[in-house]
């Protein structure tokens, strides 16, 4: 952990010159940026990423997929990883995220609230229930008494966003960070009920890691000042 705290490259390349990070799809932009920063600080190590829905990542890890680090978009799937004896040490919470509504640019269907998504004439896409963003959607439906007649349930939040930006859906429920990253490809509709379903993101080094020093160094970068700044700029809240 001294190596991780220092953030330099000396000794980081032991055992293997590559670490594989399994991360929630909503982390793609921030983790890609931090991966480049990490490689600049640790030139002996290459970071490879697998971005997907957190539930799919846990399933793959449980089936023996090799990886060094796991970052989940909720504590539920990290708990599954812990209970499957996949995690080395204690997971560390590093960010929080909430849902928002995205529509086609200009909001042609005039979506103004979460309740509006109950209208079957508004073609809405959500995440599948087992995915963190889908679980958050279900929590919101229960808390508000609103049922969203989704036209499809996607395996990741980026797939939901893609359905909206491609014109296949009128609206979608995604994280505020994904909406921000989409820029003018979408119109964002915030709603106060979103605070009822805030997702906490944890990260952990895995027992299958072949380079614990480098994996721990990546975790330290993410949870330290550099990682926190990148996450905040992307719209994530502090854990």
- The confidence score (pLDDT) of residue 12 equals 54
Q: 7-26 pLDDT, tens per residue?
A: 333 345 544 599 999 999 99
210 part of a folded domain? yes
Regarding whether 69 and 182 lie in a shared domain, the answer is no
Regarding whether 170 and 81 lie in a shared domain, the answer is no
42 part of a folded domain? yes
Q: Which helix (H) or strand (E) holds 133?
A: helix 132-144
Question: Region 72-95: what's the mean pLDDT?
Answer: 97
Query: Is pLDDT at 87 greater than 80 in this prediction?
Result: yes
Q: 144-174 pLDDT, tens per residue?
A: 999 999 999 999 999 999 999 999 999 999 9
Angle at 116 between CA 199 and CA 235, to 5 degrees: 30
Percent of the chain with pLDDT over 90: 93
| Residue-number span of the structural domain to which 206 is assigned | 2-96+201-234
26 part of a folded domain? yes
Q: 178-237 pLDDT, tens per residue?
A: 999 999 999 999 999 999 999 999 999 999 999 999 999 999 999 999 999 999 999 999
Q: By the 8 A CB rule, do 3 and 218 touch?
A: no
Three-class secondary structure of residue 203 per DSSP: strand
pLDDT-derived band at 124 (thresholds 50, 70, 90) equals very high
Summary mean pLDDT of the chain: 93
Read off the CATH number of the domain in which 55 is found. 3.40.190.10
- The order of strands in the sheet holding 18-24 is 46-52, 18-24, 69-71, 199-206, 87-97
Question: CB neighbours (10 Å) of residue 75?
Answer: 16
Token pair 């708990």 is found at 79
Question: Region 133-142: what's the mean pLDDT?
Answer: 96
């Amino acid at each position: 952990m001294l190596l991780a705290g220092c953030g330099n490259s000396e000794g980081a390349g032991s055992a293997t010159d590559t670490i594989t990070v399994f991360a929630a799809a909503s982390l793609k932009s921030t983790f890609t940026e931090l991966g480049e920063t990490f490689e600049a600080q640790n030139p002996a190590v290459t970071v490879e990423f697998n971005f997907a829905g957190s539930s799919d990542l846990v399933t793959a890890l449980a089936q023996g997929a090799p990886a060094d680090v796991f970052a989940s978009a909720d504590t539920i799937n990290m708990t599954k990883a812990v209970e499957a004896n996949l995690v080395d040490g204690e997971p560390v919470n590093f960010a929080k995220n909430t849902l928002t509504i995205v529509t086609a640019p200009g909001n042609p269907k005039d979506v103004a609230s979460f309740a509006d998504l109950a209208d079957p004439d508004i073609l809405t896409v959500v995440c599948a229930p087992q995915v963190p963003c889908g679980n958050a959607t279900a929590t919101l439906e229960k808390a508000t008494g609103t049922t969203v007649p989704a036209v499809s349930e996607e395996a990741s939040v980026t797939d939901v966003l893609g359905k909206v930006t491609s014109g296949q859906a009128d609206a979608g429920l995604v994280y505020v960070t994904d909406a921000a990253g989409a820029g003018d490809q979408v119109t964002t509709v915030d709603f106060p009920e979103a605070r009822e379903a805030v997702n906490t993101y944890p990260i952990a080094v895995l027992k299958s890691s072949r380079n614990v020093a480098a994996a721990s160094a990546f975790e330290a970068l993410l949870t330290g000042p550099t990682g926190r700044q990148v996450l905040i700029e992307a719209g994530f809240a502090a854990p």
